[in-house]
Chain A
């Protein structure tokens, strides 16, 4: 019987939410197992039941303060179905899109500048004391200010459309509750040129990083996987609405143009005993091989083209790196993320110049339905909301697959591969080695806050302790 030594990286820092990594070593310091654990519990899918349906878009945001708009809009899309709003008014759809692009912009910028750039700028092994956003402020103040101001722009767009920067209330079942005034619009038009310049600059940084470190990028947490996202009917990237497309590792279609309201026919989630986060898979490929990746990298792989000029050109360059085959490099997520940021800025500019934003026709209604499904491309990937509502307007069923959950298996593979490459067999384990593992997790920009929505698993003999550590209840009926 060999002993295992377990290293814990806890908490994972510079990600959103609460998680930890355990690395299991044998007698020879070889990595036997490495896992990413999500360690929190909410129970949202149960406690939302009984609430009136129109509360859901506001409540569900509180799963996540980083991408609240994604939950807000996805729940609103599901509730559009409940109130029978088959097609939103042009003003409502465009206001929602503006909110969504502002959100993806701020989230991607936050991840790139505030959370990940210290690794990319200073090195994975650099001094942990200054390997953070404050170090960037100190050493590269101009770049740090750009990040801060780009995020601010995105947050201000959210505030103008949703009423608040975090946990707003702008989208409602069947539409939106306000348009964008000329005065509000003009503030953004004043700065949009600057944003585009900065977005192009950020894209260059990410691209240059990839090419300057190509050998490392092509060797760091690279593994074949399927990729999934929404795409428009013509195959273009569309972050707000579309149909589901999935590719296998070789780039062949697994399915295409699937109406997202049928997602349950194609996807399922597996439960594993060591994480609160479930493991989604494509049913037709089974629970072992059916896992896939989502998010910026997956979207660059699945979409045929991008319809905004600058981001469109950037995508061609991105695809050229792998000669059109799917890109499987975890670190390429950063480049993909900056292409999307540019795409959002270009879309925001187009929308700001659209007079529909000042329209006054905000809401539609139709025949009430009992079931609503909303799907969106959130910053971190495809987000699924599914609800049932009874005749009393109360929610009776809720199931969510949050973006980060889709990447669960991929992140675990990334963690294991990097641990084996950088830690296995080493006599002494340094902070820098462990940070390599975190860099692999960070590439996916996981939102572990979101991923905690439905978790809460305990030992088979369930013991409940109060805050003072006294045992208050024990039952083992779950076995």
Chain B
């Protein structure tokens, strides 16, 4: 059987889903027999080398770069899977979309971090503004709000066992029924 080509990326996530993938532990030896990795944070391929069968997305979109990257993945992967709460529903970063009693949550996040803290040395009262920094989106978006997603794996993070089960199901083209107790935030 020809190895399937897969790629992974973390957008606005915490890397916990990638860590959970490594929690398949010694099964990683089986995984490398089944798949070859295209671009992923765990190797040094920074751009796609070839078309991929499956792309795994961790995290939602909080800046323009996330959106560009996600669209590249959509164009370059036959199947796109949202892995974990942030990719599926926005997760913790989405808390900045609506802050209690706040009309302008994003501005308050900025002011708290940089201008109003008594512990910050910022004599010019400037906010970082380098062109190297990608523009932030007005709010955090889930992956499905930006591109069409084919599957989602819930959990924060989904456990290594669940990911292993899901990967095998995807490789064999058979959908997998997840037990209901894993379909929850925690």
Q: Which A residues fall within an 8 A CB radius of B?
A: 8, 10-11, 13-18, 20, 22, 35, 37, 39-43, 45-47, 49-50, 58-59, 62-66, 68, 110, 114-115, 128-129, 131-134, 137-138, 141, 145, 148-149, 151-152, 155, 164-167, 169, 264, 267-276, 278, 281, 287, 399, 435, 438, 449, 454-460, 463-467, 469, 472-473, 478
A275–B130 touching, CB < 8 Å? yes
Contact in complex: A128, B44 (CB < 8 Å) = yes
Report the Cα distance A137→B63, complex, angstroms: 35
Asked, given contacts A62-B156, A64-B14, A148-B25, whether A456 binds B106 with beta carbons under 8 Å apart, the answer is yes
Q: How far is the CA of A472 from the CA of B104 in the complex (A)?
A: 13
A137 to B146, CA, bound (A): 36
| B10: Cβ under 8 A from any A Cβ | yes
User: B28 near A: Cβ within 8 Å?
Assistant: yes
- Distance in angstroms from B4 CB to nearest chain A CB is 14
10 contacts between A and B (CB under 8 A): A10-B46, A41-B109, A47-B109, A62-B16, A110-B22, A137-B32, A165-B159, A399-B117, A458-B129, A458-B136
Which residues of chain B are near A65, meaning CB under 8 Å?
13-20, 157
Taking the closest CB of chain A, its distance from the CB of B104, in whole angstroms, is: 9
B63 pairs with A46, CB closer than 8 A = no
Which residues from chain B contact A10 at a C-beta distance below 8 Å?
46
Q: Which residues on the B side are within 8 Å of A15 (C-beta)?
A: 41
B151 at interface, CB cutoff 8 A: no
- Complex Cα spacing A18 to B66, Å: 10
Least CB distance, B69 to chain A, in whole angstroms: 9
A273 touches B12 (CB 8 A): no
Q: How far is the CA of A458 from the CA of B133 in the complex (A)?
A: 7
Contacts A131-B44, A138-B32, A155-B23 hold; do A41 and B14 have CB atoms under 8 A apart? no
Contacts of B22 in A (CB 8 A): 110, 114, 151
In the complex the two chains form, is B26's CB within 8 Å of A148's CB?
yes
Residue B1 is within 8 A (CB to CB) of chain A in the complex? no
- B78-110 toward A: CB 8 Å interface, digit per residue (1/0)? 000000000000011101100111000110111
Query: Is the C-beta of B137 less than 8 angstroms from some C-beta in chain A?
Result: yes
A46 touches B108 (CB 8 A): yes
Question: In the assembled complex, which residues on chain B have CB atoms less than 8 Å from the CB atom of A466?
Answer: 137-138
Verify B16–A39 contact, CB threshold 8 A: no
- On whether A473 and B135 interact (CB within 8 A), knowing A14-B41, A45-B113, the answer reads no
Tell me whether B64 is interfacial, beta carbon within 8 Å.
Answer: yes
- List the A residue with the shortest CB-CB distance to B9: A11
Residue of B nearest to A438 (CB): B44
Give the residues in chain A near B130, CB-CB below 8 Å: 37, 273-275
Give min CB distance, A331 to chain B, whole Å.
19
B44, A46: Cβ atoms under 8 Å? Answer: no
Q: How far is the CA of A441 from the CA of B110 in the complex (A)?
A: 27
Interface centre among B37, B91, B111, B121 (most CB of A within 10 A): B121
A64 near B15 with CB under 8 A, answer yes
Q: Interface majority SS on B: helix, strand, loop or mixed?
A: mixed
Smallest CB-CB A-B distances: 7 pairs: A65-B16, A43-B109, A457-B128, A274-B130, A132-B43, A62-B92, A464-B138
- CB pair A18 B10 closer than 8 Å: yes
Closest B residue to A60 using CB positions: B92
With A39-B134, A268-B121, A435-B44 given, is the CB distance from A276 to B128 under 8 Å? yes
* 11 new A-B contacts at CB < 8 Å, known A20-B132, A45-B113: A37-B132, A39-B133, A46-B99, A110-B22, A129-B45, A164-B186, A167-B156, A438-B44, A458-B129, A464-B136, A465-B138
* Complex interface: chain A residues within 8 A of B106 (CB): 43, 456, 464
Contact B28 A137 (CB under 8 A): yes
Contact check, A46 vs B113: say whether CB atoms are below 8 A apart.
yes
Q: In the assembly, what is the distance between CA of A128 and CA of B38, in Å? A: 12
Report B57 CB to chain A, min CB distance, Å: 14
Quick one: given A47-B96, A457-B129, A464-B138, are A13 and B46 in contact (CB under 8 Å)? yes
Residues of B within 8 A of A438 (CB): 44
CB distance from A275 to the nearest CB of B (A): 6
- What is the minimal beta-carbon distance from A457 to any residue of chain B, in angstroms? 3
- Complex Cα distance A264/B130, Å? 28
Chain B neighbourhood of A275, CB < 8 A:
128, 130, 133
A140 to chain B, nearest CB (A): 13
| Cα of A149 to Cα of B27 in the assembled complex, Å | 11
Point out the residues of chain B lying under 8 angstroms from A64, CB to CB. 14-16
CB distance from B52 to the nearest CB of A (A): 15
A458 touches B127 (CB 8 A): yes
A278 cross-chain contacts in B, Cβ below 8 A: 120
User: Separation in Å of the A48 CB from the closest CB of chain B?
Assistant: 8
**Which residue from chain B places its CB closest to the CB of A453 in the assembled complex?**
B113
Task: Assess whether B160 is in contact with A165, with CB atoms less than 8 Å apart.
Answer: yes
Q: Which of A13, A155, A164 contacts B43, CB < 8 Å?
A: A13
Do residues B146 and A467 form an inter-chain contact, with CB atoms below 8 A?
yes
The chain B residue sitting closest to A115, CB to CB, is B42
In Å, the complex CA distance between A278 and B126 comes to 13
Alpha-carbon distance A270/B26, docked complex (angstroms): 44
Given A13-B44, A47-B95, A50-B99: A141 touches B29 (CB 8 Å cut-off): yes
> Looking at the complex, which one of B43, B62, B137, B160 makes contact with A14 (CB distance below 8 Å)?
B43
Contact B120 A47 (CB under 8 A): no
Q: Is the CB of B14 within 8 A of A268?
A: no
B167 on interface, CB distance cutoff 8 Å? no
Taking CB atoms, residues of chain B closer than 8 Å to A151 are 22, 25
B58 nearest in chain A by CB position = A65
Query: B141 an interface residue at 8 Å Cβ cutoff?
Result: yes
Assuming the contacts A22-B132, A137-B29, A449-B14, asked whether A269 and B119 have C-beta atoms less than 8 A apart, the reply is: yes
B37: which A residues are within 8 A, CB to CB? 132, 134
Contact call B129/A68, Cβ cutoff below 8 A: no
Residue of B nearest to A459 (CB): B129
CA distance A49 to B112 in the complex (A): 11
Q: Let me know if B166 is at the binding interface, CB within 8 A.
A: no
Shortest distance between the CB of A198 and any CB in chain B (Å): 14
A444 vs chain B, min Cβ distance (A): 16
